[in-house]
Structure 1
Amino acid sequence: MNNQSKVIIFIDDQLEPIAHIHTPTVFDLDTHKLTDGPHVLKIVSKDPSGKEGIRKIPFTVRNGPAIVVEGIKENDMVDGILPIMVNAYGKGDQQSFLISGSETPQSIPSWVWVIIICFIGWAMYYLLRYLPHP
């Protein structure tokens, strides 16, 4: 009689498992075979006495190029003409990283402008108040 637990690994609601393995083990999940988006890793374990346990692990695959959108957010209420910037870039492969196009230019947030204006105003006040007058 084998005294190791056995695990059966499924992806999403597939009826065919992707692996039957004995524990302890290391398992390589190849996400390149999965579509981008949400998935569930379902692990069914059976111990030597025949008892079963199930664990479900939700995860999201993003193998394709990243898409960044500026100018509109999910569920925004909009009106008129919107300038929307879209950037998509891939991360390359595991051996090299693609620099070109991997950074998305972004506009300066309004709170940064407020801080800059306040700092310039304070600096002008300081200069006018404490500089010697002729």
Structure 2
Amino acid sequence: MVVDRIEVYLDGASEPLAVLKEPPYRLNLDTRKIPDGEHVLRVVTHFRGGGEEIREIPFTVNNYPDVMVLGLDEGSEVAGTLELRLAVGEPELPVEPVRFNPIWYVVASVIVLGGIWAYFALSPAAETVVAQVAPPAQEAQAPKEGSSQAAAGVDQALMEKGKSIYEAHCAACHQANGQGMPPAFPALAGNPNLKDAQLILDTVKNGRGAMPAVGAAFTEEELKAVATYIRNSFGNSFGPVE
């Protein structure tokens, strides 16, 4: 059946709050203008050629405290301005996807990184990991940010690819200049332990201690690229990864 119009009534009112004639059928219900307490929303759907369908939705208005409730479920308490979506089973009506606020991605990232930092900063077990990966203090250098002193034979295209991967997945903890945030995140700058290419590959791919396996989904080429970049940047010059 084809819908002719939808009339929306509040409680026993004889005049509708709204008459909706075109999809998508929506109205804004400002519950701040409705007395607190029990109410009934009556939705009357009129079909072309005659016939109607009536649905009654009981609900409770409680504007104290001011709690926003989206949608209108049976028996729910609502407050503020509501946007109601009225669907009558017409297949051509589009279904809008739920939009996820991008701010929660930022919040999630902060929580994850904060948890990693807290582990390294507070856990005694982290001292072992730091001791194995961090360079001796006297050997650490402080190169200029972005500096690269790649050894001879290093593929510059691979270096550029590795730099992009490092900036996207590693720089948040180890810093753009490779100085890290000791003791939580060991410095990569001037780190003699990075001479061991397999150590870098295994650490990036499988994680180490509290470090997550950031490279678990990397291709072999991506692993090689980021390892090459780390071994030949920040004052390091250990050559290509074989």
The bucket for the TM-score relative to the shorter chain is: 0.3 to 0.5
Structure with higher helix content: 2
Structure with higher strand content: 1
TM-score by length of 1: 0.44
TM-score by length of 2: 0.25
Larger of the two Rg values belongs to structure: 2
